[in-house]
Structure 1
Amino acid sequence: MVKQKSKLIDIFTNNEQEILEDWMREQIASITYRKDLLTEAELRTQSAELMGLMIAASRSGNVTDMTTPEWKPVLDFLAATSKTRAAQGFTTQETATFIFSLKQPVFARMKSELGTNASALAEEIWIATVLLDKLGLFTAETYQKSREDIIRRQQRELLELSTPVIKIWEGILVLPLIGTLDDSRTQVVMENLLQNIVDTNSSIAIIDITGVPEVDTLVAQNLIKTVSAARLMGAHCIISGIRPQIAQTMVHLGVAFGDVVTKSSLADALKYAFQQAGITVT
């Protein structure tokens, strides 16, 4: 780790405006510049703010150790910028280029001021490279984590959309399931069903698995979990959509729903639910 005092802070401080202008030209000329997502004025504001924060942090004399308190404002700014760009639709490369494009302007200014001293020039270029590489990698990592968070949230939202709970009658809910029922989706199904039982004060819930391609041991266990959770909320559950193929598979696997009422179709389940609720439909 480089600990000696670097001339980089003087180069930044004495040439702040020139470096900023060169940096802006580098970013705007780059193929990664997304003028559809970020205006030139917004880019200039972000670049100028980061330059100011870097100069302030560098005044401590340490320009390569990002763990010191002086660099926290810089990292916080980059983290916020990365998260914003992730949400806006920037790619990892486009986000990281925000930092890496600063290399050329800084190196050019170093060459201008230290060109006659090859040893000092090489040393300062190395220090600047370490600094900008660390900041660039931090930016890319933060961006990636933000993208992963966005993807997880979108996946959960899609799961919620794919498991609608429908109130078809006073006190009666229907939960039509389509596709596989894994552990993560089971959690969403239970949360949605239980919340709707509370919100609608329903006493009967029909879980229709007509759209579930196959019922194996795992799916059956997840269905039983959902039924058990609903029972704890005071609701009676009915499972409908037990097709002949599914019934045969369940017998073969030794899977049983216990005392849970099952019906071959949603129509039969509705008829049974109406009878249990004392509802006569004419």
Structure 2
Amino acid sequence: MNTRIHEILTKYQSELLDEWLAAIAASGVRRDALMKEGELRDQAAEFLRLLTRALEQGNVSDINTPAYASIRDMLDRLSRSRSLLGLSPTETATFVFSLKLPLFERLRREHAKESQVVADELWAVTVLLDRLGLYTTEIHQRTREEVIARQQQEMMELSTPVVALWDRIVALPLIGTLDSGRTQTVMETLLQRIVETGAEIAIIDITGVPTVDTLTAQHLIKTVTATRLMGAECVISGIRPQIAQTIVHLGVDLSDVVTKSTLASAFSWALKRLNQTIGGGPRSAALKG
């Protein structure tokens, strides 16, 4: 079976290329603004060449064999690049699926008097191109998931800035929900900044944290513990009345943790702890900072 298909690809490769590109254009999913015609032709020509080589070396039913390694690599690159360009999975898979019609027509013409041969070959080609097309959707989806995961990580890092408030005092304002993944980022960022700045006091401000449950409180305690292991004291500020009541109701023990209602009061406590003073009032303190 793969011998007949291989012969068709070898004999009519140039004609198939032109007919395939016409089929892609007729499908209505070509995005000329994102991909030039010359680039599309080069990709189609490479696909036909690699498909011909794969059928010469292997069989028509299993695209996971070593014979299809090159064409899988090519589709991997194609799918990733199209995903990053913003093309949909359908638009990406159509690149492969559009080859069906011109290839079907060539097979039918070559074996017009052999109905069973035509039926068998058409089925074999359908299965092969379907598997290759579905492979592109898998890579496309995987690429999008990787991009989303990377963006989430970057957003998480941006949402946990550690600010040097004063000599040996840093602050970490938290905004949003504090989950396990973010807690790890918070710890790593805070501990790294303590090392870089030689800070002795770290203020974790939770004014922007909407709710505090048992898990959130545990995350905060872990961060406090890690900070202490680095030789710095930790203060939690932004304890609103509602959060204080919730912590008491949950039975979370923060008795050995310094807590303040506002970031300003935590900063004032930190200055006294380090025996530092700010002269000239709030404005001069702001200018000095």
What do the CA deviations read for 1:66-111 (whole angstroms, capped 9, x no partner)?
Answer: 1221110111111121111111211111111111111111111112
Q: Given that residues 3 and 55 in structure 2 are in contact (C-alpha distance below 8 angstroms), is that contact kept between their aligned partners in structure 1?
A: no
Q: How does 1:9-48 map to 2 (within 5 A)?
A: 9-48=6-45
SS in 2 for 1:81: helix
- C-alpha separation in 1, matches of 2:192 and 2:99: 51
Identical aligned pairs, as a percentage? 52
Larger deviation: 119-128 or 57-66?
Answer: 57-66
Q: Given that residues 178 and 216 in structure 2 are in contact (C-alpha distance below 8 angstroms), is that contact kept between their aligned partners in structure 1?
A: yes
Deviation at 1:30, TM superposition (A): 2.3
SS in 1 for 2:71: helix
Q: Given that residues 171 and 202 in structure 2 are in contact (C-alpha distance below 8 angstroms), is that contact kept between their aligned partners in structure 1?
A: yes
Residue ranges of structure 1 left out of the alignment (5+ in a row)? none
The residue that corresponds to 2:127 in the other structure is 130
What do the CA deviations read for 1:29-50 (whole angstroms, capped 9, x no partner)?
Answer: 3222111211111111111111
What do the CA deviations read for 1:154-189 (whole angstroms, capped 9, x no partner)?
Answer: 111111111111112222111111111111211221
The residue that corresponds to 1:79 in the other structure is 76
Are residues 1:241 and 2:238 paired? yes
Deviation at 1:5, TM superposition (A): 4.3
The residue that corresponds to 2:196 in the other structure is 199
- C-alpha separation in 1, matches of 2:24 and 2:199: 59
Residue 221 of structure 2, aligned match among 216, 221, 224: 224
Are residues 1:185 and 2:178 paired? no
The residue that corresponds to 1:51 in the other structure is 48
Residue 64 of structure 1, aligned match among 58, 61, 74: 61
Are residues 1:270 and 2:267 paired? yes
- C-alpha separation in 1, matches of 2:272 and 2:246: 30
Give the alignment's TM-score, normalised by structure 1. Answer: 0.95
Deviation at 1:197, TM superposition (A): 1.6
Residue ranges of structure 2 left out of the alignment (5+ in a row)? 280-289
- C-alpha separation in 1, matches of 2:239 and 2:2: 75
Counterpart of 1:30, as a letter, is S
SS in 2 for 1:7: helix
Q: Given that residues 82 and 142 in structure 1 are in contact (C-alpha distance below 8 angstroms), is that contact kept between their aligned partners in structure 2?
A: yes
Deviation at 1:25, TM superposition (A): 1.2
Aligned residue-pair number = 279
Give the alignment's TM-score, normalised by structure 2. Answer: 0.93
- C-alpha separation in 2, matches of 1:73 and 1:61: 12
Q: Given that residues 6 and 61 in structure 1 are in contact (C-alpha distance below 8 angstroms), is that contact kept between their aligned partners in structure 2?
A: no
What do the CA deviations read for 1:199-238 (whole angstroms, capped 9, x no partner)?
Answer: 2222211100011112111110011111112222222111
Q: Given that residues 6 and 124 in structure 1 are in contact (C-alpha distance below 8 angstroms), is that contact kept between their aligned partners in structure 2?
A: no
